[in-house]
Structure 1
Amino acid sequence: MNIKITEQIAKIQSSNHFSGTVFVKDGERILADVSYGYANRSEQLKNQTTSRYGIASGCKLFTSIAICQLVEEGKLSFDTTIGECLDLDFPYLDEKITIHHLLTHTTGMPDYFAEEVMDDFEELWVKNPMYHLRRLSDFLPLFQNKHMKSPKVGRFHYNNAGYILLGLIVEQVSGLVFTDYVEERIFKEVGMLESGYFAFDALPQGTALGYIDNSDGTWKTNIYSLPVKGGSDGGAYVTAKDMVRLWEALMNHRLLNEVLTNQLLTAHTQVDEDSFYGYGIWIKKNEKGVFKYHVMGYDPGVSFHSAYFPNSSQIVVVCSNKSTGASDIMNGIEEELTRFQAFK
């Protein structure tokens, strides 16, 4: 392990009380493999490298890979419109919306969670009980009959509902339930044998429960704060090592051919000065080009960051079973890796 990196992680953890697992790999070298906090606070079961963590929107990358696989097989194209590949009625959606628009959050369509109206994700489940949401089609009533959010298709606006539609497209084209498709065609393909889409009421052994901390020191789990089972917009569970396997397989063209991999990793839309979005993946650039490809996810009781640094092939995975903390750890690791590269 790299002493400087593990010291930096420990320093940050002492101030933000990070709970989760951090794994950093450089080729065959493991630079960090540390865990903090409890997977189950009541039983005082500690988090471990083998713990399964929810990763929220971090798994939009899996959805994009699934779509790209179907494009590679000739069953779709990125220019295919919603109406051409989805046998559902959306009375107010712009007929020009394509799979490319869905992948890049540039549809202008309404979302099922409107951040400008609600600032607490839990508010969504007051009228729409989360225990009813087990399939992708269960989300449709939350946005199917809403009007377009923006009249202009092509402008970036992060959108979970668009990824629900992508999952439904995967189901209709492949004939498989979306979660089954990802587990069979992606997870098993690359050896992510501990990862999956698990329901809250049937979590397997070794799963870290998500915790929401209150300002008065009390806490609760997130079982009533999220849909009972994840899908194409978020909610898969992974181990840190399994996420490393995903990055290695993607970058070595084991999931997609070189052309489709490059398409997924292309900066299709600019979000701000140095941040771009590809297909299900964030891209950060600097004066030398792409600094990192990364994914992240935030939900009540979940914070997750993971990145692949193309100039060094280093991989970082930060999984937390608390609502905050992963970004601080990720930023601290980046600082150390930058110094590490300068002296390599």
Structure 2
Amino acid sequence: MNKLLDDHFADLPIKPDFSGSALVMRQDDILFERQQGYANRAEQIEHQTSTRFGIASGCKLFTAIAICQLVEQGKVAFTSTLSECLPIDFPTFDPSVTVEQLLTHTSGIPDYFDESVMDDFEDLWRTRPMYHIRQLRDFLPMFQHEPMRQESGVFQYNNAGYILLGLIVEQASGLTFSDYIERFVFKPAGMTASGYFSLDALPANTALGYIDNADGSWRTNHYSIPVKGGADGGAFVTARDMANLWSALLGHRLLGEEMTSRLFTPHIKVNDKGTHYGYGLWIQLESNRHVFKYHVMGYDPGVSFHSAYYPATETISVVCSNESDGAFDMMKAIEMKAGVSS
């Protein structure tokens, strides 16, 4: 299926092996929409506009929005420490670690999946059954008693920090994390098809994630990721739902204007190439001054995802794939054709 409403995308180079959904919108206009490949290879069920995709770490933004909502309500403060927010013992953690440091990956706490020393997420589940990971507290034994990874204040991407933020959402709201997000983020954003679904109970129109082997064979990712996603990743969305999320956030339907601005603020410099981090999202600056894009991304075995908002052109792009790579190349091709490449 290919819907083309803008001539800029007439010759968009799409690799024949791309499997997923891509969408480009400007305000309420769909400029480009494409689905290619199979949501279910064995049954040869093709992707549709209604196909839901796992987005891995792409949904850290949802967690950050939830925390900001609770701050607006006075239930949490960015300066609150872990001991003030959670009745859980972290014997080796720096007691001064704050909510804001967790949001910006500057807490220094240990991570259950340290991407600076590990590159295979599947390794986590070789001796630890992934089907036991169904709620946020199930992650705690993987890092709760480990020593601090580094001093607070320095950026180091950290999944465990977002697990703790999810637990803070639960403690402050009295709801499970997934119930909170579905009620106070997805619903007001018009994300009617999105949710935190268990791999052993996926709803209709949900793409299976696929891992391709070197010999040409493949397998699903059902034994390669937690059975249910949480505050650091693992929600399922449609491409159009993700575009709705950007529109709702930018239209102040999820947060007030002041809090939205704070979420989009470059709080920490990540590298010398203009990359910064806000709350739950990446920010790419041009000449270290002007914002080129706000974006989120996610990678898991059988999952690759990119989505961005480009303020200069008020354009939203979403690329979801049910394979371990492919989303990045598609995103770059879209940026070139949309005239928003840096």
Q: Give the TM interval when normalised to the shorter protein.
A: over 0.9
The range that moved more, 198-207 or 122-131, is 122-131
Give the alignment of 1:5-20 within 5 angstroms. Answer: 5-8=9-12, 11-14=13-16, 17-20=17-20
Q: CA deviation at 1:31?
A: 1.1
Partner residue in 1 for 2:64: 64
| AA aligned opposite 1:324 | D
Superposition map of 1:45-64 within 5 A = 45-64=45-64
Greater CA drift, 165-174 or 117-126:
117-126
Contact 1:6-1:32 at 8 Å conserved across structures: no
Conserved? CA contact 2:320–2:327, under 8 Å: yes
Secondary structure of the residue aligned to 1:90 is coil
Letter in 1 for 2:314: S
Counterpart of 1:189 in 2: which secondary structure?
Answer: helix
Q: Is the 8 A contact 1:210 1:302 kept in 2?
A: yes
Give the Cα separation in 2 of the matches to 1:311 and 1:116: 33
Correspondences of 1:42-191 after superposition (within 5 Å): 42-150=42-150, 152-191=151-190
Deviation at 1:340, TM superposition (A): 9.9
Q: Report Cα offsets for 1:79-135 as digits up to 9, x if no partner.
A: 011111111000000011000000000011110012354321111012211000000
Q: Is the 8 A contact 2:115 2:157 kept in 1?
A: no
Whole-angstrom CA distance in 1 between matches of 2:340 and 2:7: 13
Aligned ranges for residues 1-344 of structure 1 at < 5 Å?
1-8=5-12, 11-14=13-16, 17-150=17-150, 152-272=151-271, 273-287=273-287, 289-338=290-339
Output the CA distance in 1 between the equivalents of 2:277 and 2:341: 27
Letter in 2 for 1:91: P
**Residue 207 of structure 1: SS of its match in structure 2?**
coil
**Unmatched runs of 5 consecutive residues or more in structure 2:** none
Task: Tell whether the 8 Å contact from 2:8 to 2:338 is kept in structure 1 after alignment.
Answer: no
Query: Normalising to structure 1: TM-score of the pair?
Result: 0.95
2:21 and 2:34 in contact (8 A); partners too: yes
Q: Distance in 2 between matches of 1:118 and 1:81?
A: 28
Q: 1:171 Cα shift?
A: 0.2
Q: Measure the CA separation in 2 of the matches of 1:274 and 1:37.
A: 34
Aligned length: 336
CA contact (8 A) 2:109 2:161 kept: yes
State the alpha-carbon separation in 2 of the partners of residues 84 and 318 from structure 1.
39
Q: Which secondary structure does the structure 2 equivalent of 1:22 belong to?
A: strand
Letter in 2 for 1:92: T
- Aligned-pair identity (%): 59
Distance 2:25 2:68 in 1: 27
Superposed displacement of residue 6, structure 1: 4.6
Shift in CA distance, 149/6, structure 1 to aligned 2, threshold 3 Å: farther
Offset of 1:224 from its aligned partner?
0.2
In 1, the alpha carbon distance for the partners of 2:214 and 2:156 equals: 31
* C-alpha displacement of 1:180: 0.3
Q: In structure 2, what is the Cα distance between the partners aligned to 1:183 and 1:322? A: 25
Is contact 1:35–1:48 with CA below 8 Å preserved after alignment? yes
Q: Deviations over 1:135-158 (max 9, x none)?
A: 0000000000000011x2110000
Amino acid at match of 1:66: A
Q: Summarize the Cα distance change of 1:154–1:340 in structure 2 as closer, same or farther, 3 Å threshold.
A: closer
CA distance in 1, matches of 2:72, 2:238: 28
Superposed displacement of residue 339, structure 1: 6.5
Q: Compared with structure 1, are the counterparts of its residues 340 and 103 closer, same or farther at alpha carbon in structure 2 (3 Å cutoff)?
A: closer
Matched to 1:313, the amino acid is E
Larger mean Cα displacement after TM superposition, 106-115 or 216-225: 106-115
> d(CA) in 2 for partners of 1:137 and 1:192?
26
The SS at the match of 1:13 is coil
Gaps of 5+ in 1: none
Q: Output the CA distance in 2 between the equivalents of 1:177 and 1:126.
A: 28
Aligned mates of 2:118, 2:260 — CA distance in 1? 36
Higher helix fraction (1 or 2): 1
Asked if structure 1 preserves the Cα contact closer than 8 Å seen for 2:335 and 2:341, the reply is: no
User: 1 CA distance for matches of 2:161 and 2:64?
Assistant: 12
CA distance in 2 between partners of 1:305 and 1:68 (Å): 23
Letter in 1 for 2:243: V
Find the residue that maps to 2:65 and give its secondary structure. Answer: helix
- Partner of 1:71: helix, strand, or coil? helix
Is this contact kept in 2: 1:213–1:219, CA < 8 A? yes
**Could you tell me how far apart the structure 2 residues matched to 1:28 and 1:160 are?**
33
Whether the 8 Å CA contact 1:211–1:323 is kept in 2: the answer is yes
Distance in 1 separating the partners of 2:277 and 2:136: 24
- Residue 212 of structure 1 aligns with an amino acid whose one-letter code is I
TM-score by length of 2: 0.96
